[in-house]
Amino acid sequence: MKNKKIILLACLLGLLILAGCQTNVDSTGKTIAERIIHLDTPWSAMFDESIFSAILVYPLAQCINFIGSKTNSAVLGVVITTLLYNAITLVFSVKQSINSQKIQMIQPELNKIQNKYAGRDDENARMQMAQEMQALYNKHQINPMSSIVGPFLTLPIMICMYYAAQRAEVVVNGSFLGLSLQETPLNAIKNISTMWPLVLIYVAMLIAQTLSILLPQKMADARRKKQKGYKSYADNNTTNPQANTMLYGMIVFIAFLGIRWPTAMSVYWAVSSLASVLKTTYIQRRYIDK
């Protein structure tokens, strides 16, 4: 398990380094003209930049361009592209979501095991705790690695959509209620009297993101209370403070990050979060409840 985590983290670091090599905006935050992807931009030209741009960024940017040009709306280009991505990845989300719900359902049992070995730092105690936890995972057919794989697969798409939203021509030259989608929420807040629609998009993104992060936990808590036959579910002390800190910390991180990215990215993030809420609800009703 430890080796697999190290491999995943190494791959993720490599991806971040690869993605971070791109410079698409100037000092004012505007997209550099040479970096804009037009509908007639040839795919072969992207290989001169990087494989990352050619294989991942280019298709998403062209999808945004195509839909945006057909609907005459940059916002719809980003929204529909995001929905299509989520529809395609739904089949991969089912197993990961069920697994995450299972982990939350057995959290009381995991807490008991951890409390049993609290204060013991010797190697033997750590091995015994790991064995008991793994036995619990096996009993409920849970693969704890899937909780890592999900975010690992989501982050590359986020990076790709970030660059695609930056570079798609319909977004660069597009607008929402007459306001450029390249403007950042931070700039919109400074000029809120005239740019309030962009502030609303940013606020909507934060609300949607909060729902998508907290909903799985709330669903698991509600379901746990119904499991009267499983004695550990009767425990009142089922809250994991560290997990809650991570959840709320993620919301704060997205708020901090999102205030400086183009509003087009906030549109993507809001739609993606709402799609995640719908997927979570669907998976809960269609699979987990049964």
Q: Among 117, 141, 165, where does a domain finish?
A: 141
Of 188, 208, 196, which Cα lies nearest the Cα of 270? Answer: 208
Total domains, the chain: 2
CA distance 124 to 179: 62
Do the domain assignments include residue 30?
Answer: no
Whether 100 is in a domain gets the answer yes
106-110, 127-131, 143-147 — which is least confidently predicted? 143-147
Q: Is residue 164 part of a domain?
A: yes
Task: Please tell me whether residues 111 and 173 are part of one structural domain.
Answer: no
pLDDT digits (tens, 9 = 90+) for 78-119: 889 888 877 877 766 677 767 777 777 788 888 888 888 887
Pair 253, 113 in one domain: no
One domain for residues 90 and 135: no
For residue 8, tell me if it sits in a domain: yes
Residue 168 lies in a domain: yes
d(CA 33, CA 24): 9
Burial, 60: exposed, middle or buried (Cβ in 10 Å; 0-12, 13-18, 19+)?
buried
- Tell me the C-alpha distance between 284 and 101, whole Å: 9
33: closest CA among 24, 42, 44? 24
What per-residue confidence (pLDDT) applies to 203?
92
pTM of this prediction exceeds 0.75: no
Instruction: Express each pLDDT in 197-227 by its tens digit.
Output: 889 999 998 998 888 888 777 776 776 666 6
Please give the average per-residue pLDDT across 116-136, as a whole number.
83
Residue where one domain finishes, among candidates 141, 162, 190:
141
pLDDT of residue 231: 47
Is residue 37 one of the residues assigned to a domain? Answer: no
Residue 237 has pLDDT above 60, yes or no: no
Per-residue pLDDT, averaged over 26-40, amounts to 77
Residues 169 and 240 in one domain: yes
Q: From the centroid of its chain, how far is CA 163?
A: 15
Same domain, 100 and 112: no
User: Looking at the domain assignment, is residue 31 inside a domain?
Assistant: no
Host domain of residue 66: 2-19+43-106+142-288
Is the domain of 186 the same as that of 262? yes
Note the residue count of the chain: 290
CA distances from 137 to 104, 109, 132, 225 (A): 12, 10, 9, 20
Whether 111 and 208 share a structural domain: no
Q: What local confidence, expressed as pLDDT, does residue 234 receive?
A: 43
What distance in Å separates the CA atoms of residue 234 and residue 262, rounded to the nearest whole number?
47
Same domain assignment for residues 102 and 208: yes
Residues 205 and 219 in one domain: yes
Token pair 């390249």 is found at 182
Q: Are residues 153 and 99 in the same domain?
A: yes
Domain boundary among 96, 126, 141: 141
CA atoms within 13 A on the CB side of 140: 21
- Judge if 230 and 133 occupy the same domain: no
Mean of the per-residue pLDDT values for the chain?
77
266 belongs to a structural domain? yes
How far CA 151 is from CA of 147, 182, 187, 262, in Å, comes to 7, 27, 30, 22
Judge if 178 and 263 occupy the same domain.
yes
Name the CA dihedral angle for 153, 157, 158, 160, rounded to a multiple of 10 degrees: 140
